[in-house]
């Protein structure tokens, strides 16, 4: 709290509103008492000026291009940490000691199998179902299997549910992929790290040994780190809102997955790669840039722009480096999509329209090229995002449940429909 306050006048009514400060970042005006004192609501479609909660997990400075998890810059975490270390940090608030890390890795690793009956859920879907549709259904179905971790008032059960979801998400994602391409499911293997295990479950086949490439598994792990959390974005807010009613954690994460699927959010990595493929060659870029700038054309450059970042997305820089590492390791030279991507980025960064609107490449501009090189079809891209974001959703959900101020989320509205009117019998309409 600061000693400042804000005064709001509406007609003859006036109300003093407290101004609160965080550790860093903009102050907020606490409007909790506004309706009681003035009988008015605030109006903020898209929540562009609204903080919905207090949080200690992630901080973004969109103007400076800064992303911190529990205070640690994303660049340092991606360079020196591994994904499970970042999971620990997001969940518990501190980096683990060596002993804590060993114990956490062990616990996650020993929760990776899913109930054998889960496999029958998969076979209920058509083979051509989008893997995100399968994920929405199967993750929601976890609550039908793990009843011993759905009591949200018990901190132990909450932590068991959290570990289960972080551990089982790669298994379910790999199963969704295998089902999609008609290959048998591959069980997890406990002597592999998180990312290597996932790559093996996706790409191993029973007829030959699968050898993990450490460069590719490190790249996979880094992609998971970069997507782990991003404060109160649409899917995280969805998870919090679903959880605010007391819904069980598996159902809440399924809600987050459904929200993530949209092309303005997690679905953009798929949309960005489709766009690069459609553009196809460098000489066609000006045509697409012109379309993106045309007010009468709904086309947007996928992978450009961000609600919060009005500067280079710090994750995009790391992602660009990872893309080059993966393509180098796989010996992909002169990849036409990469060539289109780099030229598009160059043009957009020097174009007045994009400069003026502060539209920079976001993380998903480059992640699609990397995931494609790793062997994933575009339909799996958002699934991988969901896998990585699960820990962020879970950490935010836990924080919400532990928040003494937590109440059911219930926004209000500005009603612009018909005022009260009387029912007319059909003969009189
Ligand atoms: N291409 C062309 N013009 C754009 C683009 C774009 N990619 N993004 C925004 N604009 C323009 C938009 O037309 C608007 O212009 P004007 O002020 O003249 O009406 C202005 O920039 C502001 O756009 P907005 O839609 O009001 O901004 P927003 O904060 O509501 O939307 C966004 C942010 C990310 C949804 C949007 O930039 C977009 O649709 N980008 C393409 C899709 C994309 O890359 N999404 C991934 C976001 S990052 C991953 C994640 O967090 O899940």
Residue 59 confidence (pLDDT): 98
**Total Cβ atoms within 10 A of residue 427:** 5
Q: Give 307 Cα–ligand 1 centroid separation in angstroms.
A: 7
- Tell me, in angstroms, the distance from the centre of ligand 1 to residue 232's CA: 17
Average pLDDT over residues 359-370: 88
* Long-range residue pairs from 246-249, CB within 8 A, at least 24 positions apart, any chain: 246/152, 248/143, 248/150, 248/152, 248/161, 249/143, 249/149, 249/150, 249/152, 249/158, 249/161, 249/162, 249/165, 249/394, 249/397
Q: Is the pLDDT of residue 335 over 90?
A: no
Position 200 pLDDT exceeds 90: yes
Query: Rounded CA gap, 101 and 117, in Å?
Result: 31
**Ligand 1 centre from 314 Cα, in Å?**
17
Distance CA 389, CA 100 (A): 22
User: Residue 72's beta-bridge partner residues?
Assistant: 69
Smallest CA separation from ligand 1 atom 1, residue = 300
pLDDT digits (tens, 9 = 90+) for 288-309: 999 999 999 999 999 899 888 8
Percent of the chain with pLDDT over 70: 99
Nearest-angstrom CA–CA distance, 228 and 150: 23
Give the residue carrying structure tokens 């062997």: 375
Ligand 1 atom closest to Cα of 385? 52
- CA–CA dist 74, 327 (Å, integer): 23
> For the whole model, what pTM was predicted?
0.91
**Which residue lies with its CA nearest to atom 21 of ligand 1?**
357
H or E segment at 68? Answer: strand 66-69
3-state secondary structure of 210: coil
pLDDT of residue 149: 87
Task: Please name the helix (run of DSSP H) or strand (run of DSSP E) that holds residue 16, with its range, or none.
Answer: strand 13-20
- Whole-number Å distance, alpha carbon 269 to ligand 1 midpoint, is 14
Whether the predicted pLDDT of 362 surpasses 60: yes
pLDDT, tens only, 81-97: 999 999 999 999 999 99
> For residues 381 and 267, what is the distance between their CA atoms, to the nearest angstrom?
8
| H or E element, residue 200 | helix 194-203
What is the average pLDDT score of the chain? 94
Task: Name all residues whose Cβ lies below 6 A of ligand 1.
Answer: 230, 233, 264-266, 268, 292, 300-307, 357, 359, 362, 364
The residues carrying an active-site annotation are 306, 364
Query: Residue 292 CA: which ligand 1 atom is closest?
Result: 2
């Amino acid at each position: 709290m600061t000693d400042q306050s804000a005064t709001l006048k509406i007609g003859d009514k006036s109300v003093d509103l407290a101004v609160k400060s965080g550790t860093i970042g903009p102050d907020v005006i606490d409007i909790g008492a506004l309706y009681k004192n003035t009988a008015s609501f605030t109006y903020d479609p898209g929540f562009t000026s609204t903080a919905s909660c207090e949080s200690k997990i992630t901080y973004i400075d969109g103007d400076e291009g800064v992303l911190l998890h529990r205070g640690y810059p994303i660049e340092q975490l991606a360079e020196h940490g591994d994904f499970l270390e970042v999971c620990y940090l997001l969940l518990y608030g501190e980096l683990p000691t060596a002993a804590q890390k060993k114990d956490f890795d062990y616990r996650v690793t020993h929760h990776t199998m899913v109930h054998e009956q889960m496999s029958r859920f998969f076979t209920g879907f058509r083979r051509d179902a989008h893997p995100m549709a399968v994920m929405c259904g199967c993750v929601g179905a976890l609550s039908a299997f793990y009843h011993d971790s759905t009591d949200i008032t018990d901190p132990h059960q909450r932590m068991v549910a959290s570990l289960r979801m972080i551990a089982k998400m790669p298994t379910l994602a790999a199963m969704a992929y295998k089902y999609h391409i008609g290959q048998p499911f591959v069980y997890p293997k406990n002597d592999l790290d998180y990312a290597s295990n996932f790559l093996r479950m996706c790409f191993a086949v029973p007829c030959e040994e699968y050898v993990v490439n450490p460069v590719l598994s490190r790249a996979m792990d880094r992609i998971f780190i970069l997507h782990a959390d991003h404060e109160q974005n649409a899917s995280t807010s969805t998870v919090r809102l679903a959880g605010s009613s007391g819904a069980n954690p598996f159902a809440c994460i399924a809600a987050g997955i459904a929200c993530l699927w949209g092309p303005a959010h997690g679905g953009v990595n798929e949309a960005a790669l489709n766009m690069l493929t459609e553009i196809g060659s460098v000489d066609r870029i000006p045509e697409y840039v012109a379309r993106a700038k045309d007010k009468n054309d709904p086309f947007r450059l996928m992978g450009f722009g961000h609600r919060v970042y009005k500067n280079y997305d710090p994750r995009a820089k790391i992602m660009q480096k990872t893309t080059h590492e993966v393509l180098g390791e796989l010996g992909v030279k002169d990849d036409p999509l990469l060539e289109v991507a780099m030229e598009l980025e160059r043009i957009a960064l020097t174009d007045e329209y994009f400069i003026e609107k502060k539209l920079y490449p976001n993380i998903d501009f480059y992640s699609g090229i990397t995931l494609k090189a790793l062997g994933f079809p575009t339909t799996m891209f958002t699934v991988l995002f969901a896998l990585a974001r699960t820990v962020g959703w879970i950490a935010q959900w836990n924080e919400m449940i532990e928040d003494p101020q937590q109440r059911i989320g219930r926004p209000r509205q500005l009603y612009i429909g018909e005022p009260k009117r009387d029912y007319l019998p059909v003969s009189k309409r």
